[in-house]
């Protein structure tokens, strides 16, 4: 509805309410009302702010307290109620909103300002855009020779630890967790007498992108913080993939992973401390993945 249509509707309603057609009075009231609506900063509440674990839509439940206790232990959509044979409107809208958030996270990019703010060295894989990233996973694992040269120059060689950040399948996960997990990793490594050095940010990143980085830098351990594939529970889940002396085409079994890093799972600070501990253990035992006996 445009502004003229809105004015016409308000004018008609006011005429019916006051029972007169005083043109000057109607036009003045119409203008004030229309301007207040058009220029309003108000918007509908964000339905995703509702805590699903506290929302019970079952009418007259036999055991409300028991229902809520059960909901508190799982992110599953329990107690959504029904309207006849269908979901309630609020449930259907929430599913669509969460699905939209997941899609946005996959197809949006980590802000360049965020990358600069956190002093990350920005590089990218062979993928040209998001469409190619989704359809050609192989290109998300590789870098051009020029990019590998840049990585080697800026990160150096022979370091004990190389930390890198990849957008992966969720840019939201990186922006939501990185500023909490990096200080925790850095502090943990400092306790063990280890340093992180320069941190890479990899655009259009797949997990095996850490392998050529490991080869070109010669780091003992490479840790990749990457956005996970989002779902309807959260679009902000990140994983940490860690490997001892990774090499291109190595078996996936050589990677150790900490997953579900987000506010509703393993918190970023807790995960950071665990990452630092794992890195120290890998360096001591010269192994990772299934070869690492904890």
pLDDT of residue 6: 60
> Which DSSP helix (H) or strand (E) runs through 183?
helix 171-191
Please, is 197 exposed, middle or buried when counting C-beta atoms within 10 Å of its C-beta (0-12, 13-18, 19+)?
middle
Asked if the domains 47-107 and 112-291 are classified in one and the same CATH topology, the answer is no
**Residue 110 in this model has a pLDDT that exceeds 70:** yes
Q: What is the mean pLDDT of the chain?
A: 87
Question: What's this model's pTM, rounded to 2 decimal places?
Answer: 0.77
pLDDT in tens, 116-169: 999 999 999 999 999 999 999 999 999 999 999 999 999 999 899 999 999 999
pLDDT in tens, 218-231: 999 999 999 998 88
pLDDT-wise least confident of 14-18, 127-131, 193-197:
14-18
**Residue 179 in this model has a pLDDT that exceeds 90:** yes
In this structure, whether the domain defined by 47-107 belongs to CATH 1.10.30.40 is answered with yes
Contact between 219 and 161 under an 8 Å Cβ cutoff? The reply is: yes
As a whole number, mean pLDDT of residues 231-259 equals 93
Q: List the domain boundaries for the chain.
A: 3-38, 47-107, 112-291
What CATH topology corresponds to 112-291? Rossmann fold (3.40.50)
């Amino acid at each position: 509805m445009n502004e003229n249509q809105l004015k016409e509707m308000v004018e008609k309603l006011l005429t019916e309410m006051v029972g007169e057609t005083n043109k000057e009075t109607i036009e003045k009231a119409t203008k004030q009302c229309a301007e207040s609506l058009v220029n309003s900063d108000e918007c509908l509440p964000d339905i995703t702010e509702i805590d699903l674990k506290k929302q019970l839509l079952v009418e007259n439940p036999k055991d409300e307290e028991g229902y809520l206790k059960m909901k508190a232990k799982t992110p599953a959509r329990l107690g959504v109620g029904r309207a006849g044979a269908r979901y309630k409107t609020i449930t259907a809208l929430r599913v669509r909103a969460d699905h939209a958030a997941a899609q946005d996270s996959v197809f949006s990019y980590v802000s360049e300002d965020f990358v600069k703010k956190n002093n990350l060295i920005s590089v990218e894989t062979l993928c040209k855009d998001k469409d190619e990233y989704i359809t050609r996973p192989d290109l998300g694992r590789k870098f051009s020779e020029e990019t590998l040269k840049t990585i080697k120059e800026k990160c150096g060689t022979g370091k004990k630890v190389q930390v890198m950040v990849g957008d992966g399948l969720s840019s939201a996960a990186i922006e939501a967790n990185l500023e909490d997990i990096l200080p925790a990793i850095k502090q943990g490594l400092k306790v063990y007498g280890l340093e992180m050095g320069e941190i890479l940010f990899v655009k259009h990143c797949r997990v095996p992108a850490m392998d050529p980085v490991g080869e070109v830098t010669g780091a003992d351990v490479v840790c990749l913080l990457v956005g996970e594939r989002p779902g309807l529970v959260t679009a902000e889940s990140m994983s940490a993939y860690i490997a001892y002396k990774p090499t291109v085409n190595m078996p996936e079994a050589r990677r150790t992973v900490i997953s579900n890093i987000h506010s509703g799972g393993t918190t970023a600070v807790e995960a950071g401390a665990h990452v630092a501990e794992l890195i120290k253990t890998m360096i001591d035992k010269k192994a990772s993945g299934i070869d690492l006996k904890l």
